[in-house]
Amino acid sequence: MKATLTIDLPAIVANWRDLAARGAPGAVAGVVKADGYGLGAAEVGRALRDAGCRHFFVALPAEGMALRAALGAGPMIGVLGGFAPGADGDAALTPVLNSLGDVTAHAAAARVAGVARRAILHVDTGMARLGLDAGELARVTQDHGLLAGLDLLYVMTHLACADEPGNLMNAAQATRFAAACAGLPAMRRSLANSSGLFLGPGFASDLARPGCALYGINPTPDHPNPMRGVLRLDAPVLQVRDIPAGTPVGYGATWSAPRPTRIATVAVGYADGYLRSLSGRAVADFRGRSVPLVARVSMDLTTFDVTDLPEIAAGDRLTLIGGDGCSADEVAARAGTIGYEVLTSLGARYAREYRRG
């Protein structure tokens, strides 16, 4: 008996349409890095393509090549991590140029080939990870000839604090981005991630790049989630057993039954991405009622106290993610992390079912 991950593709498409309405009149991409945040980049990509999405982003060239094979020719696939000229294996991927070195390498390759090279120019406005820094930007601003041979589809930047609407970083980054763009040749701009789409008109651009909100993660953590839930993890109960008060459960004997207790053991553990930090902290949903996780999460097994729901029997399924009280964001909060990490940690052992309509 396997645990099942059910992924609701129409809900992802509906989320993309909602975000596309917020991004209008600009375009809205689909960010499908890390295998579509763990949910399946090929399936998600095809569903979004069929709904009209024309721009995708991945992190790595290998992700881009796999996505190209899934999508066929047509949509732009931007590679956020960039790549050396020629390293995209003819998949017609669009590199994000993250440094002056990236710019000069691709411009030189374009001049040798005699064909303009499509690329996206990334300027750093406040993350200090990737993107042209202030000095590099100044050089390009003074000498647009450095960009000769490049067909720059967009100039982009990335917001550090978009999920905190009150954070002054947001306006500071928007201002720095506008100044950077003013010094560059005219080209389209790409600014907002999921949360950035909720920051207001100052964060509109020609191409938004939402990821997490497509997958149902709340892009507005201070407010109710405006997105549709996308994911459900249902785990089979392998055994139910009654234990007397005082009986310890699980590794380390960290929890003992405070009363005569019924324990349901389900076939999901930290090897499946059901994080060990959930030990003693999570709940599962059984037909709208909550059962508490007790004791430690093991590699392949997790135990729940089902004393108050005596109808639960071996073979029943508990919803561990995507039910009442256990959305991906709620599970993340109980694990001390963010929904992104819950999704991208989902393991390889699940039966995956894609809902298509």
Ligand X SMILES: *Cc1c(COP(=O)(O)O)cnc(C)c1O
Where do contacts with ligand X occur on this chain (CB under 6 A)?
31, 33, 80, 158, 193-194, 209-213
**Catalytic one among 2, 33, 154, 274?**
33
Do residues 338 and 218 touch, judged by C-beta distance below 8 A?
A: no
Spatial CB neighbours of 144, under 8 Å, sequence gap ≥ 6: 184, 185
Q: Which residue is nearest to ligand X (CB)?
A: 211
Q: Whole-number minimum distance, CB 243 to ligand X, in Å?
A: 43
Q: Is 187 annotated as a binding residue?
A: no
Q: Whole-number minimum distance, CB 131 to ligand X, in Å?
A: 9
Is 2 assigned a catalytic role?
Answer: no
Phi, psi of 54 (to 5 degrees): -115, 0
Token pair of 6, please?
Answer: 């059910």
Is 119 or 295 the residue whose CB approaches ligand X more closely? Answer: 119
Q: Whole-number minimum distance, CB 170 to ligand X, in Å?
A: 13
Is 59 or 116 the residue whose CB approaches ligand X more closely? Answer: 59
CA distances from 140 to 82, 105, 127, 135, 146 (A): 18, 14, 20, 9, 6
Q: What angle do CA 4, 338, 122 make, to 5 degrees?
A: 110
Report the C-alpha gap between 84 and 223 in whole angstroms. 42
Is 27 or 80 the residue whose CB approaches ligand X more closely? Answer: 80
Do residues 203 and 171 touch, judged by C-beta distance below 8 A?
A: no
Do residues 221 and 163 touch, judged by C-beta distance below 8 A?
A: yes
* β-sheet bridge partners, residue 237: 266
Is 192 or 301 the residue whose CB approaches ligand X more closely? Answer: 192
Which class for 223: exposed (0-12), middle (13-18), buried (19 or more C-beta within 10 A)? exposed
Q: Whole-number minimum distance, CB 74 to ligand X, in Å?
A: 21
Report the C-alpha gap between 77 and 144 in whole angstroms. 25
Phi, psi of 331 (to 5 degrees): -60, -45
Buried b (16+ CB within 10 A) or exposed e, 54-64: ebbbbbebebb
Is 267 or 342 the residue whose CB approaches ligand X more closely? Answer: 342
Q: Whole-number minimum distance, CB 162 to ligand X, in Å?
A: 7
Buried b (16+ CB within 10 A) or exposed e, 234-263: bbbbeebeebeeeeebbeeeebebeeebbb
Give the N- to C-terminal CA distance of the chain in Å, as an integer: 26
Q: Whole-number minimum distance, CB 33 to ligand X, in Å?
A: 6
Is 65 or 213 the residue whose CB approaches ligand X more closely? Answer: 213
Q: Is 1 annotated as a binding residue?
A: no
Q: Whole-number minimum distance, CB 138 to ligand X, in Å?
A: 22
CA distances from 80 to 57, 59, 64, 109 (A): 7, 5, 10, 19
* β-sheet bridge partners, residue 150: 117
Give the residue numbers of the binding site for substrate: 129, 299
Cite the active site residues: 33, 251
Residue stretches of the annotated binding site: 129, 299
